[in-house]
């Protein structure tokens, strides 16, 4: 018989949860057709940090902000001090080698040694930023591959990728890590140089203990069992970080949990099952583009969705589940799983927040704070931050 834990049994575990916010989520973004500007959009990294700090102030879940280089280049001593004043800290440094004409046919995999060196140097610059900010992780996503059969030597590109990653890895400090992301298509449509977890794992396993895999929840083909990948990478000791978002069709970069909350629940169950929850070795980060929703509210909703599905996953009666699995009791095992998923923890989480001096409803609190109206009035002139299209 199942004896599901109570919310009181798991509340202490929730108190330690941290979700890293991406600085770029607060800038303008869109599709390859159009980027829409919005009033109050940050114009520099300092304003991005201020918006991220507002999310943390209202949720208590997001004390760290990831940077993207060169989008966030600035005086990092000043930026770190600014973050500290607002109650947050600087985190993962993300590299960009996909918005330069030289990288049209690849960056770390390019045939031309000059261009490969340029891409490697861009990652060295990121490590220099990490040295300044105290960041642990360098996250690499590569928009590299080919569009047509015969266009590229796929084997040669893997060899060049290994050589480039080795040079970057050797530059890391003793306490620093590399996390290599993967994506099965776009912007390359015939082959992508790092299309799946297996390729990322093969590359980082050849580098050493400081190289890990980053799993973006939107970077998989429809029907992929993402929680299986989570399990396997935890089992292999190579899951370094998550990029949480949601998808209906491809890399949609929607608010996490928006399309399939049950999938997020299943993923978090495997994280907990595999010892990855509240582990210092695994970073929980959002990676989203807010195209139609308010950017700050989108980040608030996303961290709350992760927290809610974490709470539900912690409510699984693991002892009863293990026994049902051992005895082959398929129906009972599924019932135990679904009982936890269908448990409405939102009232408990609202009380939990109030007990910690946080608003019961962070989105309502944000709307009533006047913060959006204030930044819309203050952030006039200059160039809004964004990646362009």
Q: Which tens digits make up the pLDDT trace of 130-182? A: 999 999 999 999 999 999 999 999 999 999 999 999 999 999 999 999 999 99
Q: Percentage of the chain surpassing pLDDT 90?
A: 94
DSSP class per residue in 49-94: HHHHHHHHHHHS---EEEEEETTT-S-HHHHHHHHHHTT-EEEEEE
Q: Return d(Cα 156, Cα 176) in angstroms, integer.
A: 28
Residue 1 pLDDT: 56
Quick one: which of 291, 311, 296, 268 has its CA closest to 379?
296
The tokens for 138 are 């360098």
Average model confidence (pLDDT) for the chain? Answer: 96
- Distance CA(219)–CA(221), nearest Å, equals 7
Asked if residue 77 lies in contact with residue 128, where contact means CB atoms within 8 angstroms, the answer is: no
Report the pLDDT value the prediction gives residue 294, as an integer from 0 to 100.
95
Q: Residue 189 — pLDDT band, cuts 50, 70, 90?
A: very high
In this structure, how many other beta carbons lie within 10 angstroms of the beta carbon of residue 99?
Answer: 11
Strand (E) positions, the chain? Answer: 21-22, 64-69, 89-95, 137-140, 145-146, 177-181, 191-192, 211-216, 239-244, 283-286
Which of residues 30 and 261 earns the better pLDDT score?
261
**Distance between CA atoms of 143 and 156, rounded to whole angstroms?**
17
| Apex 363 CA angle, 88 and 309, nearest 5 | 80
Give rounded-to-5 percent helix, strand, coil for the chain: 45, 15, 40
Calculate mean pLDDT across residues 251-280.
96
**119's tokens:** 């891409």
- For residue 2, the model assigns a pLDDT of 61
pTM of the model: 0.96
Q: Which fold has domain 16-307?
A: TIM Barrel (3.20.20)
Give the pLDDT score at 141: 98
């Amino acid at each position: 018989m199942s004896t599901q834990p109570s919310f009181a049994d798991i509340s202490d575990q929730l108190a330690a949860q941290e979700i890293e916010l991406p600085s770029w989520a607060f800038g303008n973004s869109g599709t390859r057709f159009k980027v829409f500007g919005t009033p109050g959009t940050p114009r520099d990294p300092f304003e991005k940090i201020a918006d991220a700090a507002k999310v943390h102030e209202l949720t208590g879940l997001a004390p760290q902000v990831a940077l993207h280089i060169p989008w966030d280049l600035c005086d990092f001593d000043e930026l770190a001090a600014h973050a500290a004043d607002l109650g947050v800290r600087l985190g993962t440094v993300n590299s960009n080698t996909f918005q330069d004409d030289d990288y049209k046919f690849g960056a770390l995999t390019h045939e031309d040694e000059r261009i490969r060196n340029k891409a490697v140097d861009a990652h060295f610059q990121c490590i220099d930023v990490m040295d300044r900010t105290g960041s642990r992780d360098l996250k690499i996503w590569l928009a590299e591959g080919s569009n047509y059969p015969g266009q590229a030597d796929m084997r040669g590109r893997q060899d060049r990728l290994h050589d480039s990653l080795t040079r970057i890895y050797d530059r890391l400090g003793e306490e620093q890590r590399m996390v290599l992301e993967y994506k099965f298509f776009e912007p390359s449509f015939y082959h992508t140089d790092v299309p799946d977890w297996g390729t990322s794992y093969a590359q980082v396993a050849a580098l050493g203990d400081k190289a890990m895999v980053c799993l973006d929840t939107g970077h998989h083909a429809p029907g992929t069992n993402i929680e299986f990948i989570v399990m396997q990478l935890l089992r292999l000791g190579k899951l370094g970080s998550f990029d949480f978002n949601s998808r209906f069709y491809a890399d949609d970069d929607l608010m996490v949990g928006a399309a399939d909350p049950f999938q997020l629940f299943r993923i978090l169950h495997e994280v907990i099952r595999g010892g990855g929850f509240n582990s210092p070795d695994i970073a929980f980060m959002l990676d989203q583009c807010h195209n139609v929703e308010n950017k700050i509210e989108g980040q608030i909703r996303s961290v709350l969705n992760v927290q809610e599905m974490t709470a539900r996953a912690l409510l699984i009666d693991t002892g009863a589940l293990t026994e049902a699995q051992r005895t082959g009791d398929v129906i009972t095992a599924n019932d135990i799983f679904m009982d936890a998923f269908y448990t409405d923890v939102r009232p408990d989480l609202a009380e939990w927040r109030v007990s910690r001096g946080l608003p019961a409803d962070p989105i309502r609190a944000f709307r009533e704070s006047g913060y959006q109206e204030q930044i819309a009035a203050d952030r006039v002139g200059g160039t809004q931050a964004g990646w362009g299209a």
